[in-house]
């Protein structure tokens, strides 16, 4: 079974983990911007109620992109946390 304990504590590993955290964070931010600019105005702020034919694809896209956004945020949080743990535990005393 794989665990975080099997990762060697080196500066290279920390920078790789930081890099994946920042990439995940950027992915989550890009997904948020996409939702706010493209999907939300049509889905939630249209002057008239949308027909079922127009609403369903927008709502499906909203749920999928939001799931991606939340997953990317979770990965970023886990990566940043693990990089901090590695840095703290590998400090010379």
User: Over the stretch 61-88, which tens digit does the pLDDT of each residue have?
Assistant: 999 999 999 999 999 888 888 878 877 7
What are 66's two structure tokens? 């939001």
* Spatial contact of 78 and 84, defined as CB atoms under 8 Å apart: no
The tokens describing 3, both together, are 């665990």
Higher-confidence position of 1 and 89? 89
Tell me how far apart the alpha carbons of residues 47 and 10 are, in angstroms, rounded to a whole number.
Answer: 56
Q: Do 13 and 39 form a contact (C-beta atoms < 8 A)?
A: no
Q: How far apart are CA 74 and CA 68, in angstroms?
A: 10
Lookup: tokens for 52? 């079922």
- Reported pTM: 0.75
Residue of 7 and 92 predicted with greater confidence: 92
């Amino acid at each position: 079974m794989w665990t975080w304990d099997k990762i060697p504590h080196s500066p290279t590993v920390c920078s790789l983990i930081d890099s994946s955290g920042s990439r995940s964070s950027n992915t989550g931010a890009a997904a948020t911007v996409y939702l706010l600019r493209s999907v939300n105005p049509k889905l939630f702020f249209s002057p008239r109620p949308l027909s079922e034919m127009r609403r369903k694809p927008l709502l499906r896209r909203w749920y999928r992109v939001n799931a991606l956004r939340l997953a990317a945020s979770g990965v970023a949080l886990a990566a940043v946390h693990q990089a901090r743990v590695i840095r703290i535990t590998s400090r010379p005393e």
